Every structure is written in structure tokens, then in C-alpha cells.
Structure 1
Amino acid sequence: MKFIHLTDTHVIGGGRRLFGADPSRRLALAVESINRDHADADFTVVTGDLTHWGDADAYAAFTRAIAGLKTPLVLMVGNHDDTPSFAAVFPAIPRDENGFVQSARQTEAGLCLFLDTRVDGTHAGGYCPARLDWLQRQLAGSEGPVLLFMHHPPFDVGIRAMDDIRMQDAEAFHAVIAPHTHRIRHLFFGHVHRAIFGNWRGLSFSCMRGLNHQVALDLSSDVIQGDLAQPAYGVVLADADRVVVHMHEFASRAPTFPLMAPEGDLSEDYSTAMRHEGFIDL
């Protein structure tokens, strides 16, 4: 199975820019890239923060930017989203019996569970008893591999300002998934706007960059520092034996070239190409 992991698109309405970048344009470029190179993906999931302010104009802009996507689409909410506004624009998106934007999808690589970690009035995440009950029932009623998707990570990633607004109910969450960690293959999340890979209590995880702006690697600041590093999405390959996550900088203008060069030194040719593309000669 192949699927695409997008996150933190932060679209705003009115054709405006956010931190100097155009989130709608970046999302449209991602859609073009997915359609061109990965139209065979089983689905594309956006793990929250579809918009920056959660207003109707922003969701309308998001809808226009992603309308041409050729793969099935799974949408989730994050701390910058507004659930009523989201539901008004996407009434067909599955929600649980309590109105949370979470659902299950059975695939050839296992059961995909899409969790709602949004909490009203805060940028931190949470997972209340009602959502924990839903998750427990999904896990108890299933067999085989499981892939988990959420917006907020349930653990510190080492960036102090982001750790302050991670998912706050980590112990209760872990108590529910602990009996099933032997079959939970991977945890996918967003929120941190960085490519991060690792392991939490035996569970492998990955986080993708956002599409508009990124979080700088500043481990000690109490203020979230941002930058405009290249946007990226994840290309995930999953089967019975593996989960492989590739980060694709789809807007990069870096030239490609064969690494197995023919006889002779072609370094000058490559250097010329790099200078042509505006890269600094290191």
C-alpha cells in the first residue's frame, strides 16, 4: 500500500499570504506533485491544521486548492481548525458518535485509525474519556496491524515551546494502546512542522513538515521560532513486513543527475548546473 501524508497546510482566505508565503499556492503545488508522481496512492491524509484561523473563507480556499487531487482524501482537524466551520464545509467527513472528527479505514496494510486531538480554547492537544472509549472499542474490535494518525504528538519532541502544546493526555492514551502495541505498526502526526522520526515506548513514529511554514530547530526557547524551509509531504509504503516513510520536498528546484558518472570528471558540469539553479557552492 502507498499513501501520502500531508499536514499543517494553514490555508487562509482572500488570497493573502501567511508569514510571507502563500499557503493556498503551496497546497496546489503539492496536489500537482501528487497527481503527477503518486496518483496510484491509496489515499492522501491531511493530519490537521487545514486552515490557520478556522474561518469559512479559509476552508473554501482549502477546498479550491485541493479540489483537483486524484487520490481519495482523508481530512483531520488540528488546533488551528474550527470543528463547526470544518463540518459545515465537509459534511460528509466521518465523525464519531460524539461529533469528534475521527474514523477508521480498513486497508491491505492494516486498520488505519484517524484520531481527533483538538481541544477548544488551546493550542495544546487532548484526548478525553469519550475519545479514549472510541479508540478502545476500535482496537478491541479489530485484529491485525494498526496505523495511528493524529495531529498532536503524545510525547515531548525536545523543542520546549512545542512540547508545551503537545497532547496532554499521554498517560491515559498510552494505557489504552498499550495492550495493542505489538500490532500498532506506526504513529503519524503533524503539529510540529518538522521532519521528525523516532520511537516512543516501542512505537515508531514520523512527523512531516508543514506546507506553509516550519518550526526552527530551537530546543530551548519558550517562543516558537519559525522559518520558511522547503515544504514537504510524506510518501508512505506499508505492507506486512515494513512501514517506510519518504519525505518529499516537492517544490525543490535542486537538479538531479546520475551518481554513477561515466569515465571522466564531470564535477564541473554538476557545479555549473547547481550554480544555474541558484545553489551556493559549498
Structure 2
Amino acid sequence: MKILQVTDLHLVTPGETLCGLDPLARLEACVADINRNHSDAELVIFTGDLSETGEEITYRALAGALRELVPTYRLMLGNHDNRDNFLRVFDKAATHGGFVQGVEDTREGRLILLDTLLPGRPEGRLDEARLAWLRDRLDEASDRPVFLFSHHPPFPIHMPLLDRMGIIEAEALYPLLREHGNVRHIFAGHAHRPIAGSWRGIPVSVLRGTNHQSALDFSPDRIANTHEPPAYAVIFIDANGVIVHFHDFLDRTAAYY
């Protein structure tokens, strides 16, 4: 099974720029690259921060860009997003208990898409209602493999400023995953960095956004935005493993001899 992850679009009003870049043009280039190279993907998952401002006009711009996308897609929310404005445009998005979250059952297992948005705050939240929903979805999956998607990483990445913007209830999340016992990977966004590793034995990955990135800076009180290349992830899942490729979709340096 091949799926794609795209994250941190940070769309602004069309025609405006963010960090000296045009987020909508970057998204359109991403969509064109997916259509050209991965139109056979079973699903594209956008893991939040769809908008920079949360304004309705940014979600309308997103809807316009996604009309060109060939594969099926699912949208998740991040800390910059606004649920009400998002749902005014994407009124058919799956919601449960007022949160934009859901599942996709595939031949390789269950994909669980979490809503970690805490309005007005950069941190993520998994309150009792969301943890209870997750517990039920894990119980339904029984002994099937589970793949978790979250805007905020529930694990430390050892960049102090970004770690302070993680999921507040990360310690409450892990026992649910351990009890299920077959969570094979956690995919996250938010950090604007290419990161891979494991958290308490569970493989994890994070990737760059489609607009600006975060500098690799381990100081405790600062982080800079950079113009490192935007990327999306090409993910292959089967019974034997999970392989994640990070694709710099604006790279035009390939040469063949």
C-alpha cells in the first residue's frame, strides 16, 4: 500500500506571502508533483496547519487547489487552524464529538487520524473526550495493525522550543497505544523538520512542510524559519514493514547519464 503525507501548508490569503514565500503556489506545485509521480497512491493525508491564519478564505483556496489532486485525500487540523471556518468550507469532513478526526480501514490495517487542535495555543491537546474516542477506535481494531497520524508529535524531538509545543497529554496517550500492542508507526507534522526514530519502541517520523521550515537549532529559547526545500512523504506499508521516503518536490537537479 502506498500513501502520501503532506503537512504544514500554512496558507494565507491568495496573493500574499509568508516568510517571503507563496504558500498557495507551493501547494499547487506539490499537487502537480503528486499527480505526475504518485497518482496511484491510495490516499494523501494532510496532517494539519492547513492555514496560517485560520481564515475562511484560506480554506477556500485550499479547496480550489485540491480539486486538481488525483488521489483521494483526508484533511487534519493543526494549531494554526480554525475548526469552524474549516468546516464551513469542508462541510463533509468527518467529525466526532466536534473534533475533525476519523479512521481509514485498509488492507494493511487501520489508519487513525487525530485532532490535536487546542484553539489559541501552539500546544496540542488530547483531552478525555479525544482519548476516549481513540481508545474505542483502538479497541475496534483488535489485533489489526494501527498507524497513527497526529499534527503534534506526542514524542520529544529534543529541540526544546518545539518540544514545549507538543501534546500536553502525551503521557496519557502512550498507555493506550501500549495496551493495543500493534501500533506500528506514528506520523506527525508541526515541527517542519525531517525526523525519524522511535518513541518507547514505536517507530515515528516527521517531515518538512510545503512552505517554510524550522532551522535545526537545539538552543532552549529560539527557533528560526528557513527556506530549506519543501517536502512530502511517500509511505509504503505492508506486512513486513513501513518505509518512508522524504521527497523534495521542488528539486530539479536530477541528471541522467
Same fold (TM over 0.5): yes
| 2:110 is equivalent to residue 111 of structure 1 | yes
Q: Which residue pairs with 1:185 in the alignment?
A: 184
Q: Which residue pairs with 2:237 in the alignment?
A: 238
Q: Which residue pairs with 1:205 in the alignment?
A: 204
Q: Matches of 2:134 and 2:141 in 1, distance apart?
A: 11
Q: Which residue pairs with 2:92 in the alignment?
A: 92
Q: Which residue pairs with 2:26 in the alignment?
A: 26
Structure 1 runs of 4+ with >3 Å offset:
none
Amino acid of the structure 2 residue aligned with 1:184: V
Q: Matches of 2:255 and 2:168 in 1, distance apart?
A: 43
Q: Which residue pairs with 2:14 in the alignment?
A: 14
Partner secondary structure for residue 138 of structure 1: helix
Q: Which residue pairs with 1:222 in the alignment?
A: 221
Q: Matches of 2:239 and 2:67 in 1, distance apart?
A: 32
Larger radius of gyration: 1
Q: Give the structure-2-normalised TM-score.
A: 0.97
Q: Matches of 2:15 and 2:39 in 1, distance apart?
A: 27
Q: Give the structure-1-normalised TM-score.
A: 0.89
Q: Matches of 2:21 and 2:241 in 1, distance apart?
A: 36
Q: CA deviation at 1:66?
A: 2.1
Q: Which residue pairs with 1:51 in the alignment?
A: 51
Q: Matches of 1:65 and 1:188 in 2, distance apart?
A: 23
Q: CA deviation at 1:257?
A: 2.7
Q: Which residue pairs with 1:75 in the alignment?
A: 75
Q: CA deviation at 1:149?
A: 0.2
Q: CA deviation at 1:221?
A: 4.0
| 2:141 is equivalent to residue 152 of structure 1 | no
Partner secondary structure for residue 141 of structure 2: coil
Q: Matches of 2:58 and 2:221 in 1, distance apart?
A: 29
Please say if residues 19 and 225 of structure 2, whose CA atoms lie closer than 8 Å, have aligned partners that are also in contact. Answer: no
Q: Matches of 1:108 and 1:31 in 2, distance apart?
A: 25
Q: Which residue pairs with 2:138 in the alignment?
A: 139
Q: Which residue pairs with 2:101 in the alignment?
A: 102
Q: Which runs of 5+ in 2 are unaligned?
A: none
Please say if residues 161 and 221 of structure 1, whose CA atoms lie closer than 8 Å, have aligned partners that are also in contact. Answer: yes
Q: Matches of 2:80 and 2:238 in 1, distance apart?
A: 33
Q: Matches of 1:221 and 1:94 in 2, distance apart?
A: 38
Q: Which runs of 5+ in 1 are unaligned?
A: 259-282
Please say if residues 13 and 57 of structure 1, whose CA atoms lie closer than 8 Å, have aligned partners that are also in contact. Answer: yes
Please say if residues 159 and 217 of structure 2, whose CA atoms lie closer than 8 Å, have aligned partners that are also in contact. Answer: yes
Q: Matches of 2:42 and 2:254 in 1, distance apart?
A: 29
Percent of residue pairs bearing the same amino acid type: 41
Q: Which residue pairs with 1:66 in the alignment?
A: 66
Count of paired positions = 256
Task: Let me know the Cα RMSD of the aligned residues.
Answer: 0.9
Amino acid of the structure 2 residue aligned with 1:85: N
Q: Matches of 1:197 and 1:55 in 2, distance apart?
A: 32
Q: Matches of 2:145 and 2:14 in 1, distance apart?
A: 43
Q: Which residue pairs with 2:2 in the alignment?
A: 2
